[in-house]
Amino acid sequence: MNIKIVCVGKLKEKYFKDGIAEYMKRMDRYAKMKIVQVPDEKAPEKLSPAEMEQVKQIEGERILSKIKDKEYVFVTAIKGKERTSEEFAKEIQDLATYGHSDITFVIGGSLGTSPAVNKRADDLISFGKFTMPHQLMRLVLAEQIYRAFMINNGSPYHK
């Protein structure tokens, strides 16, 4: 199975990099996992609604350029469907069982994802109604993907 996380912006904080690297290393025995970063669009602090949409559109085009047609795509979104870890694990297992060996997760930039990215999604996934920095979301997502594989393999990690 191939797992890809497409995300906007560079990760600067060492502690996030270290945490993500640890989960990626742990995943080696279960699936190939990689992170693909696309540049964020530079924008001033105060943006009009039209300018916000333009930033999301540009970032969205960059995200979509990293996704192939055959990939099953989850986009992180506050309005997405919340799941328990067990439900998420079963979903990952079912996707693999039914021929989806390439799964991509998208984490948008600070303004979220464009309508085009959301339309490309096979599913919108939410990690709750809290707003999280997208750098932290990478770590949370990496851990939850690892947890899903641990659940599916009957590991005591999940307890």
Annotated binding-site positions? 108
Residue type, 155: S
What is the spatial distance between Cα 88 and Cα 101, in angstroms, rounded to a whole number? 16
Residues 118/122/127/130 CA torsion (nearest 10 deg): 20
Binding region for S-adenosyl-L-methionine: 108
- Residue partners of 122: CB distance under 8 A and separation at least 6: 72, 73, 74
Q: What single string gives the DSSP state of each residue in 48-64?
A: -HHHHHHHHHHHHHHHH
Q: What single string gives the DSSP state of each residue in 62-113?
A: HHHTT--TT-EEEEEEEEEEE--HHHHHHHHHHHHHTT--EEEEEE-BTTB-
